[in-house]
Every structure is written in C-alpha cells, then in structure tokens.
Amino acid sequence: MLILLRCTPQVHGASRLAFDYVKQTVETEINSVTDNPLIFFLEKNGVCISGGNFHGQPIAIAMDTLGILVSEIANISERRIEKNGKSCFVTWITCIFSKKTVE
C-alpha cells in the first residue's frame, strides 16, 4: 500500500495527460463535419465525396481511455481513504463489539 501511495503523483500525472487527450479528441469530433456524403460545388459542377465521416471510432477510443484513467484515480483515492480511515473504523468496530466507550 505504501508503494501505491508513493506513486500517486505519477498516476495523477499520467491520468492528466490521458484526460488532455480525451478532451482534445472530443472537442475535435464535436466540431467536425459528420454529414455523409459531403457535396462541394466547385465552379459549375458539384463534387460528392463520401468518406465515412460518421464513424465513431475516435470517440470510442477516447471514452475507453477516460474509463481507464477514472479507474486509476479511483483506485488511488480508495487506497488513500482506506489508509487514513482504517484507524477510525477499527476503533469504532472495537467499541461496538466490546461495549466500551471511545475516549
């Protein structure tokens, strides 16, 4: 557990970089053209381009990355809570089962 808590800055830093990737990808995809086909009018004749712009793969990969980074941060947070709250919990449980008062 001590090793896990010592690595908190590295985990948070890597998660922050992953979040920046997710944010950039989502912003790019939200602001991109998704209509299919695209029609461009150049001079007198129009050009119809069908490029598969409707595919959700960039968002899917970004959301998978988001799930991983949230679970990593949650894991570190859970360990920190367990380490800091264990002594209080043990005292409370001991008090209940031994019927003594906590000082």
**What pLDDT was estimated at residue 82?**
75
Whether the pTM exceeds 0.85: the reply is no
- How many angstroms separate the CA atoms of 80 and 73, rounded? 11
Where the chain has pLDDT below 70, the residues are 1-4, 34-38, 42-43, 49-53, 85-103
**What pLDDT was estimated at residue 50?**
67
Residues contacting residue 11 through CB under 8 Å, at least 6 positions apart? 72, 73, 76
- How many angstroms separate the CA atoms of 20 and 62, rounded? 10
* Long-range contacts, stretch 32-40, CB < 8 angstroms, 24+ apart: none
**Beta strands, E only, 1-103:** 38-42, 45-49
Question: Residue 29: is it exposed, middle or buried by C-beta count within 10 angstroms (0-12/13-18/19+)?
Answer: middle
- How many angstroms separate the CA atoms of 22 and 53, rounded? 19
Residue 90: both structure tokens together: 């043990």
**What pLDDT was estimated at residue 1?**
46
